[in-house]
Amino acid sequence: MTDEAINDGRRGFLGASALVLSGAMLGVLTMTSAIAAAADYKQNPFTLVYDGAITKNEPGKVNIHPVNYRLNGLDIVANVYTPANYDPNQKFPAIVVAHPNGGVKEQVAGLYAQRLAEQGYITITADAAYQGGSGGQPRSVDKPAFRIEDIHGMADFITRYPGVDAARLGVLGICGGGGYSLAAAKTDKRFKSIATLSMFNSGRVRRNGYVDSQLATIQDRLQQASAARAQEAAGGAILYSGDANLTDAQIAALPFDLYRQGYEYYWKTHAHPGSTFKYTTSSLLDLMRWDATDQIDLINTPLLMIAGSKADSLYMTEDAFSKATGTKDKELFKIDGATHIETYWVPKYVEVAMGKLAPFFARTLVSGRS
């Protein structure tokens, strides 16, 4: 993968947001208050791009193990993190970590997988099928059924990993991975508890626009998606959505923090060539009829939902939390002062998130819990 791939990903960023640009492109790109030093994936042997990432495996420390496995005929690439006291002859609880839309395992999902491994868990995070380093053609297909199956597939693999106690399995979903983790956990009762961070309801956003800003164009976009599928079926070119090639000034004029700061995170400070927000337009046929909160009352296990108090995506976490009526053991925790993207990397906010995640999983992934 090359730097050109990163530029391709930049053109693929923002999805529906490209349609809600204001007419006046004002100002310059505003960086987040705590500037991150750019992480170069080329400088890490595992191409990890988060702060404090593992650079080599050492006895007595958290180690990373690149793995691959087959899922529905596709090659999936993943990283397994083992705790410092790992012994394959012992039994450890495990946590599946699902990455954001367009993200890859080397970014925020890897950060939280490593931090949870530091707490004594065996963790796994995989690139979604059709995305990142995993197999599947055409590239950048983004369908809820596939993303949900990715989470089931990670559970399949990690519960058979040496040293894992399959009876103590949790799941953490971040951003879009949070919405898909909710969906997976509705029916997959191998997950004894579920946590989300900055949950993003991909179906609602692709259907209604971010902050429900595109309600007036739903039918037009469905027509475009239908035409794209027809073109694919006829052997024509694959059409993609979210491929606006925006300047820094145009990004600065976007009305939402998630997109402005997302640009900084994904293509400036934590860029990785496998990460792109470009997705096949035909995927919208599946995305726009799906919703992360459908039948969410099927979740009857402990639920922790974390989001930044200043996140413009907070409404999605609050909506899902209120509808998750099937469990009485649930908590919505807001990280004071944090926006959506800041929960991915700003050290003080990561610490706050871990301060909730660690005791939550310690309490809910205990031996003998039914």
Instruction: From first to last of the 370 residues of the chain, give the pLDDT tens digit.
Output: 444 444 444 444 444 343 333 222 222 233 333 445 678 999 999 999 999 999 999 999 999 999 999 999 999 999 999 999 999 999 999 999 999 999 999 999 999 999 999 999 999 999 999 999 999 999 999 999 999 999 999 999 999 999 999 999 999 999 999 999 999 999 999 999 999 999 999 999 999 999 999 999 999 999 999 999 999 999 999 999 976 667 788 878 888 999 999 988 988 899 999 998 889 999 999 999 999 999 999 999 999 999 999 999 999 999 999 999 999 999 999 999 999 999 999 999 999 999 999 999 999 998 755 4
Q: Looking at residue 369, what is its pLDDT? A: 53
Whole-number Å distance between alpha carbons of 257 and 121: 33
Q: Looking at residue 243, what is its pLDDT? A: 60
Strand partners, 306: 197, 333
Using a 10 angstrom Cβ sphere, with 0-12 exposed, 13-18 middle and 19 or more buried, the burial of residue 42 is exposed
Whole-number Å distance between alpha carbons of 24 and 5: 30
Q: Looking at residue 22, what is its pLDDT? A: 29
| Farthest CA pair distance, the chain | 62
Q: Looking at residue 251, what is its pLDDT? A: 79
Q: How much is the pTM? A: 0.92
Kindly report the CATH class assigned to 3-364.
alpha beta
Q: State CA 360 to chain mean position distance.
A: 20
